[in-house]
Amino acid sequence: MARYPIVLLFCLLLPGVLQAAPVAIALHGGAGTLTRDKMTTEQELAYLQILDTAVELGHARLQAGARGAEVVREVIRLMEDSPLFNAGFGAVFTWDGRHELDASIMLGESLRAGAVAGVTRVKNPIEAAYAVMEASPHVLLSGSGADAFAEGQGLDLVDNQYFSTPERTRALERYRATQVESESAKFGTVGVVVLDAEGNLAAGTSTGGMTGKRWGRIGDSPLIGSGTYADNSSCAVSATGHGEFFIRWQVASDICARVKYQKVYLQAAATHVIHQELTQAGGDGGVVAVDPRGNVAMVFNTEGMYRASVNGVGEKVVAIFRDEPATGSGVADDG
């Protein structure tokens, strides 16, 4: 008769044993966005729609068992192909009227990473970054060498003017006349962080840089530790903002280090770095991050950040401005 309580206990525990491993995703389309009073209803709806499409795509792929690196690439490709963001098609112009694009990717399981800077012909720079990680002994390739490497890997190449849009052309004209970058063009970097069903973290970031940049300027997005970082023992982070500050303060790796060594929660680590370290230094921007338990943090010190997430318990957020949405349990969303 003693076996029956054991069988009953096993039946009670079975649902938990069979429960699928948590997956999570967070993404951004840039911080330092237009203020609410300057954004039309049509613009807001367009951004919310692409953010929702991107996060739904990524979450569905994770639930289906896709590896983190594949999801990061797929979602960033979707955003690179949208003219709404400063990455890929729709990237901003340099002072000389061309496009120089940067991207990076990192895997938390192995700390392997790949990045490209200043590419001019690669249709989807995130694919070039992934190829550097997978098919070269290096982490970062730049300029014409990175373009040549991408061509040798069979990646899709385009004429540089493929990336141009009328809005970015007008932004360059305004910048040349005033030396002031428009709010809509400031921080349109895209980034994705994920926790996959195997418990592995991954992060990726892609950008066209800053309007009117000169002399081959490179920001934080292709720099591992500054704009992108992933480590299964702590977290995965993708950043967006004024790259010079994110480089000097090593924002992405600093957040992960605080989680790993100080044993603080992801939200606390991200909030400290963005709202104290970065803000006190005069740097604008934000991050999206995820930890091995599926907790999500989306923290920024600007008027808004294009962002979306689904955390490990399935709670979804899609938002633009600082005062939205209300934070759900398990989701850190602190402007």
Q: Which 3 state secondary structure label does DSSP give 305?
A: strand
Examine residue 172 and state whether it is found in any structural domain, yes or no: yes
Examine residue 319 and state whether it is found in any structural domain, yes or no: yes
Q: Residue 96's domain is classified under what CATH number?
A: 3.60.20.30
**Does residue 188 have a pLDDT over 60?**
yes
N-to-C CA span, the chain? 59
Band of pLDDT at residue 181, cut at 50, 70 and 90? low
**Does residue 56 have a pLDDT over 60?**
yes
Task: Give the chain's mean pLDDT.
Answer: 90
**Does residue 194 have a pLDDT over 60?**
yes
The total domain count for the chain is: 1
Taking alpha carbons only, the member of 152, 101, 155 closest to residue 128 is 155
- Rounded to an integer, what distance in angstroms lies between the CA atom of residue 235 and that of residue 257? 9
pLDDT above 70 covers a percentage of the chain that reads 88
Examine residue 309 and state whether it is found in any structural domain, yes or no: yes
pLDDT above 90 covers a percentage of the chain that reads 82
**Does residue 21 have a pLDDT over 60?**
yes
| Structure tokens given for 43 | 């613009």
Angle at 150 between CA 289 and CA 62, to 5 degrees: 35
Examine residue 4 and state whether it is found in any structural domain, yes or no: no
pLDDT, tens digit, for every residue of 126-152? 999 999 999 999 999 999 999 999 999
**Does residue 270 have a pLDDT over 80?**
yes
- Rounded to an integer, what distance in angstroms lies between the CA atom of residue 92 and that of residue 132? 24
What pLDDT sits at residue 327? 40
Of 189, 207, 211, 271, the catalytic one is 189
Question: What CA–CA distances, in Å, run from 20 to 23, 24, 314?
Answer: 9, 12, 12
What pLDDT sits at residue 36? 79
User: 298: domain range?
Assistant: 21-327
Paired sense of beta strands 140-142 and 113-119, if any: parallel
| Structure tokens given for 239 | 């950043």
Contact 270, 313 (CB under 8 A): no
What pLDDT sits at residue 335? 59
pLDDT, tens digit, for every residue of 153-166? 999 999 999 999 99
Examine residue 8 and state whether it is found in any structural domain, yes or no: no
- Rounded to an integer, what distance in angstroms lies between the CA atom of residue 296 and that of residue 188? 21
Band of pLDDT at residue 35, cut at 50, 70 and 90? confident
Examine residue 61 and state whether it is found in any structural domain, yes or no: yes
Band of pLDDT at residue 334, cut at 50, 70 and 90? low
Q: Is 189 a catalytic residue?
A: yes
Examine residue 15 and state whether it is found in any structural domain, yes or no: no
Distance of CA 265 to the CA centre of its chain: 20
Contact 168, 147 (CB under 8 A): no
**Does residue 92 have a pLDDT over 70?**
yes
Examine residue 7 and state whether it is found in any structural domain, yes or no: no
Question: Residues 105, 34, 297, 311: is their CA dihedral positive or negative?
Answer: negative
